[in-house]
Each structure stands twice: as structure tokens, then as C-alpha cells.
Amino acid sequence: MCGIAGLVLAPGGVSPQPATLATLARALAHRGPDGSGHASVGRTAMLQTRLAIIDLTTGDQPLFAGSAALVANGEIYNYRELRAAMPEQRFASNSDCEPPLQLWLRHGAGYAGHLRGMYAIAIHDRAARSVTLSRDPFGIKPLYVAPVEGGLAFASEPSALLAAGLLKPRLRTAARDELLQMQFTTGAETIFQGIERVLPGETLVCAEGRIIERRRIAALPDGGPEEIGEDAALARLDAALTESVDLHQRSDVPYGMFLSGGIDSACILTLMARLNSQPVLAYTAGFAAPGAADERTAAAEVARAAGARHEIVEITEAMVWQHLPEIVACMDDPAADYAIIPSWFLARRARQDVKVVLSGEGGDEMFAGYGRYRSAMRPWWQGGRVMRGRGSFDRVDVLRTRPAGWRDGIAAAEARAATQGRTRLAVAQATDIADWLAHDLLLKLDRCLMAHSVEGRTPFLDPGVAAAAFRLPDALKVREGRGKWLLRKWLERHCPAARPFAPKQGFTVPIGTWIAAAGARLGPLVAAQPGIAEIAEPGRVTALFRACTGRHEGFAAWTLLFYALWHRAHMQGLAPAGDVFETLSAG
């Protein structure tokens, strides 16, 4: 995994400045500590900071061919197959990112349709004076673009653009309201005015300091449910999952996986154990808190059945308060998902042994695991509910003004997902895959792992798996009040120790319990933060933290704490100043 950035400036202006490029590289160094490279021609410059995973000796970037140069952040899993399909081509390296460069020379902006992997790619054509930017269809790897003085800038993280002084941090209030109500933000526009996401699957062609062409690859297949029986569906699923995990294990450095007590990661471990001759290294988070939902026991049973080497990472209240400011600071594109806490600590532990981890992100979305999907399947007169119909602060009277329009982005995603033939269930899944997955779960995985220079891979988010799973009949996704029916049946057959049909315990970070215990101390500190004072009554904030006993109150308090720390780091530009209490007390 890596970081990339660059400038595409218009004719007649200044050329990219070395100091700006150096600042961009420093801001992305955590994404690529193994080296850096850059190319600057005329008014275009690109750079990469490298985390070496494949082709450790000759894979440095930029890569050059003809009049083109490439920098990339990601992994192209089918790079061997792409090389084999070009037998006449002489490759200069063994890098997985050289085949995309050759494909671009052959197919132009349509090259990304041949790729299977996770990626954010920039290709500069010196002859045409253009830059092509591409992002993988699921949005596993991030890429941002912004108009700046004299043209355009792009980077793997918004914080790099801000650190280089290319833009000033200005808050987009509509995105802030989305964040408060839903814990993530939707669509192309970020919370920073002027900085946009390259959307999942998008390819942009940029020239003369502006975007001149857009095209997009869909992550999911079109059409309604297909006709297939359970046995045939299981056989197809086994083949698709096996192929995907095999591809996702391609690496020249050690790898492991994140193992929860759920069925998604149990499936990944089962397949990894099948495909590896040595024990798989699996990491599980647990919480030292009374009454906390803890998955360590269930994970240990699956690890034993798979013959895995199992490492437990116990997370304590003291650890969270000590490191929460830096955890939140790594979420420059904010997602107030408390799962950032175990993700960050797991990555910190895994980095001692490996550079790559496989994870189960995408399983719930691809196989219909969430309870909200089962509700969305029913019409309103049968008790069905719109997904995310209520925000976190609709039941808690803290904010000065109730957010308006916060659901507009997700409503637009729902409308786009409702293509012909899709059932209510498929529309709900497609909506989540377009926004919730890309702008919460995958964003969290990228930032928390990259903070420790660890690459995260997601085998469920693969075109082969999508083809095998997304258009399944509803009855093979949801049955007897359970989601992920077919995946459960597969796991029951291949790893019964996972108990895939047992009642789900759930995984909850006990942050509400910890906030309640420290509420009298935390409340005044949070209420005094400039970002919070803009949106909430201080007295109500302190009262909320003092009486943080219910689920809704606990979630609202966590969201305010996250936002206070995020605003301090990314709008005020202040570095963490110790633990959470010291940081919030500092000027």
C-alpha cells in the first residue's frame, strides 16, 4: 500500500514547486515508509510514497513506458494473468502495477475495466499533457481531487492537500450534519469545501488544470434475482470465494488476518487455512470492560478449528483514553464509527509481524447480513422502515438547531440503486455498498491500518464474489429471520466450529460505558471545544455526558467526542497533546 499525490496545472501558470511536493510526500509518509519517488514534467507532477508488498526490488514508482508514467496506491490481484495475456510485451519490473500502465497505453481511459484489485492510480501522458485518475469499483482505496490555484491537485488523503497549503480547511456544514446524524458522509463532496472524492469506480481524465472526461465502472452486476438452487449456489460460491482469497494472498511479504467472532472473518480464515500450508496468523480484539460484548471466545474456537496461530489484543479503557486523539486524527475524511478503536489497535499489533492483513469487510453488504435489510424488505404497512430514517440526534436534545437535509445524500443513493429488476433487499444492499461501505467501513479500514503502514485486503469485495452473490434470490440471502443464509450454509459445511446459525452476540465497543464513567470530567471539556460550541448548547452537552446511561445518549456523546477531537485536529490544525483529557484541555 502506498500514498500518491500530484498537481495538474494549466498552461501559462507556474510549475509545481519542489517544496510543495516535498510537503505532500511528508504528509503521506505513513502510507509508504519504504521509499518515495516522483516525476515532474512541465506543469504536471506526481509522487508516491511506497509500502513495498510485491516486487520488493524493482517495483519502485513512478513506472515509465513510452510517453506515460504511473503512480499507484493499491494491489492489482490479477497482474499475473494480465502479464500472461500480453506475451509479446517486455516488462521492466515484476510490479503488479506495470500491467495497468501497459493496458492504458493500449486502451486509454478504458484500461481500468481489465483490472481486478483495489487501487487509486494516476497516469501522466507527457505527449497528450493529460493525467488519468482511477479508483477501484468498490472504493477500497481512497483518492481525492481539488481545484487549486492554477489547476488541480490530487492525493490519497485530504490532509495532505491541506498540509501542503494547497487549500485552507473550510467546513462544509451539510457534510457535518450528515456526520452527526449518520456517522459518515455521502457522495463525492467531502466535509472540506473544495475537496472531492474520486467516486468508487470512477476514471477522470484531467488536462490543462481541469477535468475533461469522466467515466465509471459499476461494482455490482445489473438485473434482478437469478434462478439458481441452493446446491448450485453453494458450489458457485465456494469457487468464487476460494479464487478471491487465493488472489488476495498474493504477496512478497508476510500476511495475516483480522478475526472477529462473526461469520465473515470465520469464512476468510477457513479459506486461508485451506490454501496455506503454514498456520494462518489471526488477530482478535477484546475489551477489558464489565458486561462488554466480547468475541474472543468464539474467535478462539474458530482459530483452533482452522489450526491458526491466534493473537489476542486486549483493549482497556486507559488505552483508549491515551490514544483516542491520534486515532481520531488519522480519520481526516471523518467516519465517527467506534470500530475505529479496535481497528487501530489491531493494526498496531499486527505491524509487529506482518505488512498485510485480510479482513471480512463487505460480507454483510454482499450477503445481506444487517437487520435493517430485513426491515427494508417489508412494505411500510407490514412494519418496514426506511434505512437510516432517524439520525443520532433526533432523540437527544443537544444541538442548537436540528440538522435539516442530512438524509438527502443517502436518499439520492437509494434512488440510484433502484435499477430495474432489483428487489427491495437488493436496493438496500446496493445503497449501502455505494456509500456506507465506501465512506465508513472501508475508509475506517484504510486510515486505521495506514496509520501503522499495514495494508488491508477485503476478499468479499471482489467482482467474482459479487457475480456469485449479489443477484442471488432473496430467499438465499434472508431466511427464517436470518441474513447471510447462503454464507451461513457454506460455513456450516466447511467450519462447523463457527456455529454460523447460533444467535448473534454482536460486537460493541464499550465506549458508552467508558464515557459514562468519565462523563463528569469529559462533558465540560467537550462542551468548551470551538467545533462543539458552534453546534450545541454547552449546558446540554455537559448534562448529556453526566447522564450518559441510555443507548441513544451514549451514541450521541460518542459522536460529539469524536467530532470535538476531529475538529480540533483538522479544522484548527492542532496536534494531539497527550491523552484525551490533556488534548481537550490544551489551547
Burial of 71 (0-12, 13-18, 19+ CB in 10 A): buried
What residues are paired with 146 via a beta bridge?
A: 153
175 pLDDT above the threshold of 60 = yes
292: CB partners within 8 A, 6+ apart = 508, 510, 513
Query: Given pLDDT bands bounded at 50, 70 and 90, which one contains residue 383?
Result: low
pLDDT at 503: 79
Is pLDDT above 70 for 506? no
Extended strands (E) in 271-374: 281-287, 309-315, 356-358
CA distance 37 to 469: 40
Burial string for 131-166 (b: 16+ CB within 10 Å, else e) reads bbbbbbbbbbbbbbbbbbebbbbbbbbbbbbbbbeb
Question: Which residues have CB under 8 Å from 550's CB, separation 6+?
Answer: none
CATH code: domain 230-388+405-498 is 3.40.50.620
Which residue, among 232, 286, 279, has the nearest Cα to 255 in the 3D structure? Answer: 279
**CA 191 – CA 175 distance, rounded (Å):** 5
Which residues, including other chains, have CB under 8 Å from residue 251's CB and lie 6 or more apart?
53, 54, 355, 356
Separation in Å, CA 85 to CA 80, 97, 136: 9, 15, 21
239 SS3 class? helix
Tens of pLDDT along 298-320?
999 999 999 999 999 999 999 99
Contact (CB, 8 A) for 180 and 399: yes
C-alpha 5/C-alpha 379 separation (Å) is 47
pLDDT above 80 (res 350): yes
Average pLDDT over all residues of the chain: 95
From start to end of 428-493, where are the E strands?
455-457
* Residue 512 in this model has a pLDDT that exceeds 70: yes
- Specify whether the CB–CB gap between 248 and 51 falls below 8 A: no
Stretch 97-105: mean pLDDT: 97
Bridge partners for 278 per DSSP? none
Same fold, 2-216 and 230-388+405-498: no
Q: Which residues contact 552 (CB under 8 A, 6 or more apart)?
A: 392, 395, 396
- For the chain, the domains span 2-216, 230-388+405-498, 511-585
Q: Can you tell me the mean pLDDT for 321-343?
A: 97
109 contacts: CB under 8 Å, gap ≥ 6? 132, 203, 205, 213, 215
pLDDT at 52 over 70: yes
Give the tens place of pLDDT for each residue, 289-303.
776 778 899 999 999
Q: What is the predicted pLDDT for the residue at 43?
A: 94
Four-CA torsion 85, 87, 88, 89, nearest 10 degrees: 70
Q: Are strands 44-50 and 202-207 parallel, antiparallel or unpaired?
A: unpaired
Write down how long the chain is: 587
Mean predicted confidence (pLDDT) in 463-478:
98
pLDDT at 7: 97
Sheet harboring 356-358: ordered strands across?
Answer: 309-315, 281-287, 255-258, 356-358, 455-457
One-letter identity of residue 389: G
pLDDT tens readout for residues 471-505: 999 999 999 999 999 999 999 999 999 999 987 66
| Percentage of residues in the chain having pLDDT higher than 90 | 91
- The Cα angle at residue 339 between residues 572 and 270, in degrees rounded to 5: 145
User: What pLDDT is attached to residue 505?
Assistant: 62
Pairing of strands 196-197, 144-148: antiparallel
* Average pLDDT of the segment spanning 460-465: 98
Give the tens place of pLDDT for each residue, 135-170.
Answer: 999 999 999 999 999 999 999 999 999 999 999 999
Residues designated catalytic:
2
Q: Residue 278: is it exposed, middle or buried by C-beta count within 10 angstroms (0-12/13-18/19+)?
A: exposed
CA–CA dist 118, 358 (Å, integer): 13
SS3 549: coil
Please, which pLDDT band fits residue 548 given cuts at 50, 70 and 90?
confident
Query: Residue 1's pLDDT is what?
Result: 65
Q: Is the pLDDT of residue 102 over 90?
A: yes
Q: Is the pLDDT of residue 576 over 60?
A: yes
pLDDT at residue 58, rounded to an integer: 87
Report the share of the chain in percent with pLDDT over 70.
98
Cβ pair 354, 255 in contact under 8 A: yes
Residue 295: the pLDDT is 86
Instruction: Flag whether pLDDT at 129 surpasses 90.
Output: yes
The CATH superfamily assigned to 2-216 is Aminohydrolase, N-terminal nucleophile (Ntn) domain (3.60.20.10)
Indicate the pLDDT class of residue 37, thresholds 50, 70 and 90: very high
Give the three-class secondary structure for 283. strand
Q: What is the pLDDT of residue 308?
A: 98
Rg (CA), the chain: 23
Exposed/middle/buried for residue 13 (C-beta within 10 Å: 0-12, 13-18, 19+): exposed
Nearest of 185, 191, 440 to residue 337 by alpha carbon: 440
